Structure 1
C-alpha cells in the first residue's frame, strides 16, 4: 500500500507522546514493504521547542535509533493535496491537526479511491468535546480510537459511521530490556508535568513516597512549573529535564522500579486507556507500580504485570517489596514482558490496521505484501 499520514510530528517527542507510537508503526509498515509518506506542519510547536532547547543534533540522533525515518513538512496554505495524495491507498489523519486541514482532506476524498481514517489518541473527546465536534469527518471512512470508550463517543455523537479501537503499544525494536550495569538509583519516572491534571496524584504516588522512604530517584520530563521543581528538590529528587523517548530504555536499566501515574481524565472518564507509558516500561523489563486506573478492556493482568497502589501508603509498601525482594521484582518483569510480546507490540497494531484496511475494501494483494494471498475484494 501507499500510505500517507498527517500527524503533528514524527521527529519530535517534546511534550508529544504520540510520536512514540507513531515511529514504531511507521517503521513496522515500512519493514512490511509498504510505502509510507509522513507529513507534519512547518513550525510545529513540538519540533520548535525541541530545536530551541536542545538543538538540531537531536534530530540527527533520532536516526541512530530509527534508521531511515523521514518526514515531509507542509504549509497549510500551499499544500497541494492532488500531488500529495496521488496514488494513495490509505490516508491517516491525526486529531492533533488543524480543523481546516481535516476538512480539506475530507473534501478531497470525495470520489477518490483511497481510504481515509481519522486517528484519535487523546482525551479531548471528553475534555474538549466542542472542539472535537468541529472536526468535519463526514467524508471519512472511519475513526481509529485509542480506547473503546473513545470509539463509543464517536459513534454516539454521530461524528463518524465507523470506528475501531486501536490501542497504542510498545515499539519493541527500541523498547526492550537493556543489560543492567551499575545502578544509578532506586526509582526513575519519565513523564511531563502536564496541565495540573495530576498534581495531587504525583505528590501522593510519586513525590511523597520517595521522600518518606528516602529513595534515590530521578524524574525526567518537560513543562515542570516552579512549584513542581521546588517539590522535587524538597523530596531530594533529581530533575533530569527532557529525555528523548528513545533513550528511556537505557535509563530504565539503571534503576530498580518505575511508576505510572495516569492523568485524571483517563482515571475518571476514560477507563481502559493506560496511555503508552506502561506499554513501554513493561517492554523494557522494569518493575512497574501504578496508581489506580480501570483496565476495562483487559489489556493487562494487574497484580501480575504490574502492581497497583490504591493510595500513597500502598505505594510505599509496594516500593519496599520491589526494592528489597528481587524475586517479586523478577516475577513482575517476566509476566509483563510476556504480556507485551504476546499482545502489545507495534507488530500487533499493524496487524490490526491491516485488518481494518481489508474491512474497508483495500485489495488483499496490497495489504499483505509478504503473504500468499491472491483473492481481491
Structure 2
C-alpha cells in the first residue's frame, strides 16, 4: 500500500548541531524506496538556513514555511488528505501545530519523539513548547526513540493510544567500510553536552593524556573554548553526515557517549552506534539498560566504565579480536538497524493504528484551524 506521508520536523535541510536531520533523511529515503510519497514541512529559521547542507533531496519534497499562520494556509489540504501525518519533537510552535493537525488530519496522526526521556521529564513539569500532556492522547501513535518500559509508561501515565518504538537507524549506502588505514586510536562524534562531557573526559580525553603516542579526535560543534584538550586530540567543529563514514573508518575504535536522560530511561540507542557498526568499526560504549537488545556486549560491542577499562581496550586488545567484533557489529547492524527496517516498522505501526481506528469506529472530524 502506497502512503502519502507528511512529516513536520525540526530540520531535514541542516545537520549542523541537529541530530534529527540524520534520522529524518535515512527514514524518509527508505520510505521513498518502498514506494511512499513523503513531504517534509520545515520552519525556515536562521540557524538552519545559514548551515544548510541538503536543499532538494530526490527522495522527498521539502517545503519551508515562515510562520505558524502560514501552515494551514499553504499546507492545510496536504495535511488533511495525507494517509499519515507525523509531528516530530522540538518543532517550533509544536503545541499549536499538534492541536491543529490532530483536528484537521483525516488520516493517522503520530507524534515522533526523537527526544523521549527529555520530553517525559518536561511533561512531568507541565509540558513543553512542542507537546503538552493533553495532546498526547489525541495522536493515534506515539512513536518513540526510546523503547523498553518507557513505552508502557507513556500509555499508562500520559494516555497515549499506542506507544511504539521507532529507533534511529543507519543508511547503509552512506555508511560502509572504506579502504582507509586507521590512524586514530579512538574518535567521537557528537555535539557538546554538559552531561556527556564527564564521560567523554573519562573515556577519551584522559586516555589521550596517558597515551601521548596515540592519536584521538572529537568531532562536533558547540564545545566551549575553555575546554583543555590534550595535544594528541584533534578537534573538528562540524563533520557533515557524508563525511562520517570516512571518519569512523580512520579509527581503530569509536566512542559512544549517552545523554544522562537516555541512560536513566534505557533502551535509547544513539545513531552513532549504528553508523559505526555499518562501517565495520568497533564501538566502545558507556553502560545503559537495554543496550544488549541492540548489540551483544563483548562480541558485537565493548563496554567501558572507567579510564582504565578504556585504556586496556586501546592498548591490549588483539587485532584479530578487534576485527571480529567489527565484523559481528556490521552483520547485526545490516540485519536489524537499517533505515529500511525502520520504514517497515513504521508501515506496521500505521497498519495497526488504522485497524484500531476501524475497530473503534472512530473518524477524525475535520475542524476549523485554531
Aligned-partner Cα distance in 1 for 2:267–2:80: 38
**Equivalences for residues 22-33 of structure 1 within 5 A:** 22-33=24-35
In the alignment, structure 1 residue 341 sits paired with structure 2 residue 334:
yes
State the 1:158 CA deviation: 2.5
Structure 1 counterpart of 2:76, from 74, 77, 82: 82
Aligned-partner Cα distance in 1 for 2:102–2:290: 34
Aligned-partner Cα distance in 2 for 1:44–1:298: 39
State the 1:185 CA deviation: 2.9
State the 1:68 CA deviation: 4.5
1:141 corresponds to = 140
Aligned-partner Cα distance in 2 for 1:287–1:299: 14
State the 1:67 CA deviation: 4.4
Aligned-partner Cα distance in 2 for 1:362–1:275: 31
State the 1:83 CA deviation: 2.3
Kept in 2: contact 1:169–1:345 (CA 8 A)? yes
Aligned-partner Cα distance in 2 for 1:252–1:177: 9
State the 1:128 CA deviation: 2.0
Aligned length: 341
Q: TM-score, with normalisation over the residues of structure 1?
A: 0.85
Which whole-Å deviations, capped at 9, do the CAs of 1:53-72 have from their partners, x for residues lacking one?
A: xxxxx336xx7xx6455411
2:96 corresponds to = 100
In the alignment, structure 1 residue 256 sits paired with structure 2 residue 248:
no
Q: Name which of structure 1's ranges 288-297 and 352-361 shifts more when overlaid on structure 2.
A: 288-297
**Equivalences for residues 17-56 of structure 1 within 5 A:** 17-43=19-45, 45=47, 47-48=48-49, 50-51=51-52
Structure 2 counterpart of 1:299, from 283, 294, 300: 294
In the alignment, structure 1 residue 270 sits paired with structure 2 residue 268:
no
Aligned-partner Cα distance in 2 for 1:72–1:362: 30
State the 1:18 CA deviation: 1.6
Which whole-Å deviations, capped at 9, do the CAs of 1:249-296 have from their partners, x for residues lacking one?
A: 0111222221111122222x2111122111111111112111222226
**Equivalences for residues 1-377 of structure 1 within 5 A:** 1-43=3-45, 45=47, 47-48=48-49, 50-51=51-52, 58-59=53-54, 67-74=58-65, 75-80=67-72, 81-97=75-91, 98=93, 99-109=95-105, 112=106, 114-122=107-115, 123-129=117-123, 130-132=126-128, 134=132, 136-148=135-147, 149-180=149-180, 182-194=181-193, 196-214=194-212, 215-228=214-227, 231-232=228-229, 234-267=230-263, 269-295=264-290, 298-322=293-317, 325-361=318-354
Where 1:186 maps in the other structure, the secondary structure is: strand
Kept in 2: contact 1:9–1:44 (CA 8 A)? no
Which whole-Å deviations, capped at 9, do the CAs of 1:14-58 have from their partners, x for residues lacking one?
A: 11112112111111111111111111101164x14525xxxxxx3
Aligned-partner Cα distance in 2 for 1:153–1:120: 14
Where 2:173 maps in the other structure, the secondary structure is: coil
Kept in 1: contact 2:171–2:338 (CA 8 A)? yes
Q: CA RMSD in A?
A: 2.1
Where 1:226 maps in the other structure, the secondary structure is: coil
Kept in 2: contact 1:106–1:137 (CA 8 A)? no
Structure 2 segments unaligned to the other structure (5+ residues): 357-370
Kept in 1: contact 2:32–2:38 (CA 8 A)? yes
Structure 1 segments unaligned to the other structure (5+ residues): 52-57, 364-377
